[in-house]
Chain A
Amino acid sequence: MSSPVDVSTAAPPASEQADSGLAIETHGLTKRFGERTALDGIDLRVPRGSAFGFLGPNGAGKTTIIRTLLGLTAANAGTMEVLGYPVPLERAQALRRVGAIVEEPRFHMHLTGRENLKIVSAVRGPETLDRIDPALARVGLSERAGEKVKSYSMGMRQRLGVARCLLADPLLLILDEPTNGLDPGGIQEFREMIRAMVEQEGRTVFISSHLLDEVEKTCDAAAIVDRGKVIVQGSIAELAQGGGVRNELILGVDDVELALTTLGGSELVRDARRADEGLRVELAGDPRTVAEINATLVRAGVGVTRLEPVRHSLEQRFLEVTSRLDAAPATEDVEEVGA
C-alpha cells in the first residue's frame, strides 16, 4: 500500500466545485509502485455529458488511474476532482453518483444477480433499492435475475456490472474495458446503451480501453495514454487528424516519377511521396481541389487509376503517438488538440 503523499486537499469547497463543467479533472496525478511509476503527472479533463475514451496499450496505466480516481489506491502526488468534488477529501460525496466497473466485474457467485445488486444497494443507501428492478430490466437481465451468478456468461456478468452501476443513478460511469467478453452483438448493444446514456440522459461515460475501434465508435473525445503519461487528448475527430486538419489523398498512377514531378510544382499540393498504395499526397488547401489535381495530372499525361481521400483513423494516430513515444520517451510533451 502506497501512502498518500503530497495529495492536495486544499481544493475549493464542494459547493463551488460541484458545478464544474468537468466530470473528471486531474493535475499532475502521480502513482508509484516502488520504483515503477505507473502514473506520471497525469493531467486529464473529461467534459460532462460526453463519452470519453481513455486509450492505451496494456500496462499503460489505464486501470491505475481509474483505481486512483475511485480511491481504491492512493496517489503519491497531484490533485483530482470527480464531479467537481476534490478526491480524496470529499470522496464519499464524489462517488455517490458514480458507477464503476474496475477490470472485470466481480460478484458473489453463490448469490443471484438480484441478491448481488441488493448487497450494493444496501451499501449505497435505501433509496437505491427501488432501482434494482429497472436496472436489471435495462440491461436485459430481468428474467435471469433469480439465478446464481455462477451460471452467468461473461457477457451477462458485464451487463450485471452495468446494472450495479445504475443503482447509483450515476452522473458519471467509469467502465474499465467494458466490452471484454462480449460477442459482436453484445458490443453493438453496449455501444448503443452508452450513447443513449450520454445523448438522452446527459450522463458522462469514461471508458478505458485498448480497443481503438471501439472507442472511435462510442466516444466523443479521448485521451491516449502510454507509460503513465497522457500523450494527447481531444475530440475523436481532432485526435484522428493529429491536431491539425490534414487533407490527404492516395493516388494510383501509371507513371509515378512524372506524377511526383508534376505535383511537386503544383501550389495545390503541400507534400507528395511514394507509398505502398501508390502516391500519398497532402493537399495544401481545400479538399475540393482534388478535381483540379486530377486535371493537372491528366494534362501532364499521367494516367490516374485511383484517387481516394484518406480517412484518418484513431488507430493511425494511436500508433503514431505511441511509436513516437518509443523514440523519445523522456521528452514527449502532453499534446492537447482542439478546444
Chain B
Amino acid sequence: MSAIAPTTGAPGPPRRSGSSVAVAGQMLGADFLKLRKKRSTLIWALVLAVAPILIFFLVSAIQHASNPVKYEPAGGVKNFSDGLRVVTLFFGPLAAILIGVEAGTGDASVGVFRDLVVTGRSRMALFASRVPAALALCWVVIIGAFALLLAGSFIFASNLPTPGGALIFNGLGFALLGTGVLCVIAVGLASLTTSKPAAIIVMIAWQVVASPLIASISSLGSSRRAILSQAIAHFSPVHVGEGGHGATVTMGEGTALLVVVVWVAVFLALGAWRTRTMDA
C-alpha cells in the first residue's frame, strides 16, 4: 500500500447507476469471463464435445480404409446423423452440464457471491446473468463440435450423399436445443445445491443412467413423457430411437415442448429461489 493518493474527491450523494440494459450486458460479460477463463471446465467441456466426434470419424475412416467393401465411407448423411446423436444426446449434454454447474456454483464455491451481494445489486440479477453466460459458452463449444461433425461429414463422404441445408440447419438447432436445455437446468440445479460435485453427479446420473432406464420401462406408459431426454429427442431431425420423431416414447410436439419448458422453468425457479434466500 505504498501508493496512497486519493482516487476521488469528497464523496457526494449517491449517484444513479448505468442503465439496466448496460448493467445486464456488463454482468453477462463478467459471468462469461469467469467461465471462459476457468480452464479446467473449458478443457473438459471441449474434450467431451469434440473428442468423441474426432474418434468417431477417425475409427470410421480407418475401418473404411482397411475394408472399403464392408465399411462405408466415414462421412455422408448417415454418419452425420450418428454424429449428431453423439453431440446432442450423449456427450454434448455432459459438456453442457459441466459448464452449467460451473456457472451455477462458481461465485458461491469460492466465496465471491457475498462480495457481489454487498454491492446492493439484487440477487435475482446475479442469478439471471449466469444463465445467458453459461448458454453462450456452452453453445460456443457445441457449435465447435458441430462444425467438426459437419466438416467430417463432407470430407469423408466420398461417393455418399452429403447433408443438405435443411438438415444442417435443423441439426444445428437440435444440438443447440438439446445441450442448451441441459445447460440451463444445470445452472438451476447447481444454484440450488451450491455444490459442484453434487450437481454434476445428480445431472449425469439422471441423464446417462436414470433417464434411459426409466424410458425403457414400458409399464410406466405415458408417464415417461415427462422424461426430459425423451422430450428433447422428439425434436431431432434424424432418427434416434423407436418412437415418433425418433424418440423411445411417443408424444405430440406440444407435449414435448411443454415438458421441456416445465423442466427449465422448475429448475430456474429453484435456483433463483435458493440464490435469493441463502445466507451469503
Contact = CB atoms under 8 A, between A and B. Distances in A.
Interface of A: 1, 18, 67, 70-73, 83, 91-98, 100, 102, 105-111, 115, 118-127, 131, 134-135, 137-140, 142, 159, 162, 164, 166, 168-171, 186, 189-190, 192-193, 196, 200-203
Contacts of B6: 138, 196, 200-201
A189 B110 contact: no
B37 interface: yes
Q: How extensive is the interface on chain B, given as a class? A: 35 or more
Contacts of B23: 122-123, 125-126
7 contacts: A72-B117, A93-B120, A96-B119, A96-B120, A126-B22, A170-B11, A201-B11
A70 B7 contact: no
Contact of A166 (B7, B10, B15, B37): B7
Contacts of A111: 33-34, 37
B271 to A, nearest CB: 15
A195 to B, nearest CB: 10
Given A108-B112, A189-B2, A200-B6, A98 B277 contact: no
A95 to B, nearest CB: 3
A93 B13 CA distance: 11
A93 B120 CA distance: 7
Contacts of A106: 110-112, 114-115
A140 B126 CA distance: 30
Identify the interface centre among B1, B7, B23, B39: most chain A CB within 10 Å of its CB: B1
Contacts of B38: 110
B13 A134 contact: no
A1 B14 contact: no
Interface stretch (B24-32, B59-67, B184-192, B193-201): B24-32
A201 B114 contact: no
A107 B8 CA distance: 24
B100 interface: no
Given A169-B8, A201-B11, A142 B3 contact: yes
Given A72-B280, A109-B110, A126-B26, A119 B34 contact: yes
B1 A120 contact: no
B114 A108 contact: no
B272 to A, nearest CB: 15
Given A100-B118, A120-B115, A121-B26, 18 more contacts: A1-B278, A67-B280, A71-B118, A92-B120, A106-B110, A106-B115, A119-B112, A123-B116, A123-B126, A124-B17, A124-B119, A124-B121, A125-B23, A127-B15, A137-B5, A138-B5, A192-B1, A196-B6
